[in-house]
Structure 1
Amino acid sequence: MQGLIAFLFVFSIIVIIHEFGHYYFAKKAGILVREFAIGMGPKIFQVRKGETVYTLRLLPIGGYVRMAGHDEDEQEIKPGMMITIVLDSENIVQKLNFDDKLIIENSVPFQIEDADLHKDMTLTGYFINSEEKVTLTVSKTATIVESDGTEVVVAPVERQFNSATLWNRIKTNAAGPMNNFILSILVFIIVGFMQGGVPTNDAIIGQVTEDSAAQVAGLKEGDKVLSIDGVEIHSWDEMTKIVRSSADKALAV
């Protein structure tokens, strides 16, 4: 069980670092990042900061960054759908609620006939108990409460992935794998230091145990053996070969 927990923890760290690469360069390029998710499946926690909602999901087997217009699953909008909307004092839509289990203060029911939340930023349809079709302006900072309760920001076309320059799109896509590559180098360096550096084949004395031949000979940890019985030593392998072939002989080091 501890091994599984350790694996999931390390895997989550790798995922976070990978996805942060995409997230960081998307933000720098002006691409709207709707969601930064850790885990997959049903949402168990969310907090929205600025334009991005940060979610923790039930299955700890991955994660993702939802960039507007980049292979994302947008909330499905069909003619005839009944939702609730929140309007400001100028009748501009500030929130669209597709979660039928959520009741939002000051919201009003609205039946959708058509919606353009990318270019024209309009919502067309009917208020409840009215046969008059209206077209409302949707704010470019409006939010959408999706059917699972996740609240994300609308994505005008200029904030979408494909509107970014080619170079910015390349950097955003490559940033995740690049972060993992950098992480692997850092882990290699850290492990190397923890193990006392990279192993070498030099004839250098390591730990000297009590009453060992090395201690009797006066050798200390870190000493480098230069010669044995006048024979020059160039490697650990050479030293051990001579010692093993002279097990019953006194050697001058």
Structure 2
Amino acid sequence: METIQVVFMTVLVFFVIVTIHEWGHYFFAKRAGILVREFAIGFGPKLFSVKRGETRYTLRLIPAGGFVRMAGEDPEIVEVQPGQTVAVRVKDDKVTRIYLDRLDERSGTVRGEVENVDLERQLAIRLNVEGDTESYAVHPQALVIARGKDTQIAPIDRHFGSKPLRQRAMAIFAGPLMNFILAFFLFAAYIQMVGVPVENPEYMSITKIEDGMPASEAGLMKGDIVSSINGEKIGTDLDKMIDMIGKSPNTSLTIDVVRDGTPMSVKVTPRPNDDGIGKVGISAAPPTRSATFAETVTRSATLMKDMTVYIFESFKMLITGQFKLDDLGGPVRTAEMTSQIAKQGIVQLTSWTALLSLYLGIFNLLPVPALDGSRLLFLGLEAVRRRPLDPNKESMVHFIGFAMLMLLMLVVTYNDILRLVRGE
């Protein structure tokens, strides 16, 4: 049961941080009046798909991100060409369905050869029906149906590129923004769970006991107050406690603790780790109290700042070549680390999820082709030039960038799998 719970929590972490990111894109795109064709979690083949309103919601095989597909960003429209024979369904004097195949099976329709069609600006179609010309207005939400798939038309005012620059920029920036907001609230939840240190503490208590380690086997318990080791007072000096235990591998220590007001002594023999340093499997910290609202806000902001600095330092090490390939991790290693942290409990998992959400937001703002940062950069260039860039060239840049990111992901994922096989 514990394994199932850990797997569920690991999947939930990825689902939450990716979904909140894509929801940011989705919400502000819809707010701007952009037609959102698909809201997808993952890439590759579809595992699950359901359509609600104008948008199809899909879960895809490769859990490496997600996307929101907006009208005008890719050639998703099935083209209707002059000279093509189609069948149309008309309701209230407007075409609501345009069928491109299996025309003999379409009952209640008008069948004819297309003479002229405009599904973006004029929203009109003219057909030659048995020698007579018939013109129809097309409903702005009409569907083009072919090969069992229906695609809603997108009038030009519902295209991403037709919207004002500020609305397009917000629709792009909203993804990382949602990750930052999620990270802040998760850090706040973490602070509420762990509390804040009391002023002028006089003791430390055990906050965690690792199963199968000497402390657990000796009977030490979470909440025990550590008073001394081999007669030396510890107080709140965590470094002193770690140093004494670390220097005593395979040597019995007497740890004096207070449990529920009762003093007691416990014999513990530290076990050497791979570096020969003694470990007993405990974590200790001074007493804490509940954080106030103001403390929660300020400490969450501080954690956001500190973690942001840490993330950028990691990027700097990557650029300067201080990281090796084995130091990089893809979805497999991230999932492995998440599952390990999930085993430690909801407190640690909350903090880790906040860090992942913050990282996803920052990473997506990097000026790397195919990422949100690159798209914002192109919008910035458009603002400076006062005219849009060639959409074909921009699409090519993003396509190449996406291909390179997928290649890098394949390499690090392959490396992660090899590392797991080798048991490293």
TM-score range, shorter chain: 0.5 to 0.7
After TM superposition, list the pairs within 5 Å mapping 1:144-223 onto structure 2: 144-145=144-145, 147-183=146-182, 197=194, 203-206=204-207, 207=209, 209=216, 221-223=223-225
Aligned to 2:119: 117
What's the RMSD between the two structures over aligned residues? 4.3
Deviation of 1:42 (Å): 6.5
Distance 2:39 2:218 in 1: 60
2:68 to 65, 68, 92: 65
Aligned to 2:415: none
After TM superposition, list the pairs within 5 Å mapping 1:1-253 onto structure 2: 14-38=17-41, 47-50=50-53, 52-56=54-58, 59-60=61-62, 63-90=66-93, 92-100=94-102, 103-127=105-129, 130-145=130-145, 147-183=146-182, 197=194, 203-206=204-207, 207=209, 209=216, 221-223=223-225, 225=227, 233-242=235-244
Contact 2:228/2:255 (<8 A) preserved: no
With over 3 angstroms needed to count, the CA separation of the structure-2 counterparts of 1:40 and 1:223, relative to structure 1, is: closer
Greater share of helix: 2
State the structure with more CA Rg. Answer: 1
Distance 1:238 1:162 in 2: 62
Name the SS for the 2:168 alignment partner.
helix
Read off the aligned partner of 2:167 and give its amino acid letter: N
Aligned to 2:359: none
Contact 1:119/1:156 (<8 A) preserved: yes
Distance 2:138 2:177 in 1: 38
Distance 1:249 1:59 in 2: 53
Contact 2:143/2:153 (<8 A) preserved: yes
Deviation of 1:73 (Å): 1.9
Contact 1:95/1:143 (<8 A) preserved: yes
Contact 1:44/1:55 (<8 A) preserved: no
With over 3 angstroms needed to count, the CA separation of the structure-2 counterparts of 1:230 and 1:43, relative to structure 1, is: closer
Contact 2:34/2:70 (<8 A) preserved: yes
Read off the aligned partner of 1:36 and give its amino acid letter: F
Deviation of 1:235 (Å): 2.7
**1:199-234 Cα deviation digits (max 9, x unpaired):** x9x95334475756x79xxxx725264898676755
Contact 2:50/2:58 (<8 A) preserved: no
With over 3 angstroms needed to count, the CA separation of the structure-2 counterparts of 1:78 and 1:222, relative to structure 1, is: farther
Deviation of 1:172 (Å): 0.7
Q: Which deviates the most, 92-101 or 27-36?
A: 92-101
With over 3 angstroms needed to count, the CA separation of the structure-2 counterparts of 1:132 and 1:12, relative to structure 1, is: farther
Contact 1:38/1:63 (<8 A) preserved: yes
Q: Which deviates the most, 40-49 or 75-84?
A: 40-49
Read off the aligned partner of 1:165 and give its amino acid letter: P
Deviation of 1:161 (Å): 1.6
Name the SS for the 2:206 alignment partner.
coil
Distance 1:31 1:18 in 2: 18
Distance 2:108 2:91 in 1: 10
Read off the aligned partner of 2:137 and give its amino acid letter: T
Q: Which deviates the most, 164-173 or 36-45?
A: 36-45
Distance 2:34 2:95 in 1: 22
Name the SS for the 2:132 alignment partner.
coil
Read off the aligned partner of 1:68 and give its amino acid letter: A
Deviation of 1:154 (Å): 2.3
Name the SS for the 2:225 alignment partner.
coil
With over 3 angstroms needed to count, the CA separation of the structure-2 counterparts of 1:10 and 1:238, relative to structure 1, is: closer
* Bigger RCO of structures 1 and 2 (CA < 8 A, at least 6 apart): 1
Distance 1:189 1:231 in 2: 35
Distance 1:169 1:8 in 2: 31
With over 3 angstroms needed to count, the CA separation of the structure-2 counterparts of 1:65 and 1:248, relative to structure 1, is: closer
Contact 1:121/1:140 (<8 A) preserved: yes
Q: Which runs of 5 or more residues in structure 1 are unaligned? A: none
What TM-score do the two structures reach when normalised by structure 1? 0.67
Distance 2:144 2:38 in 1: 12
Name the SS for the 1:94 alignment partner.
strand
Deviation of 1:54 (Å): 1.9
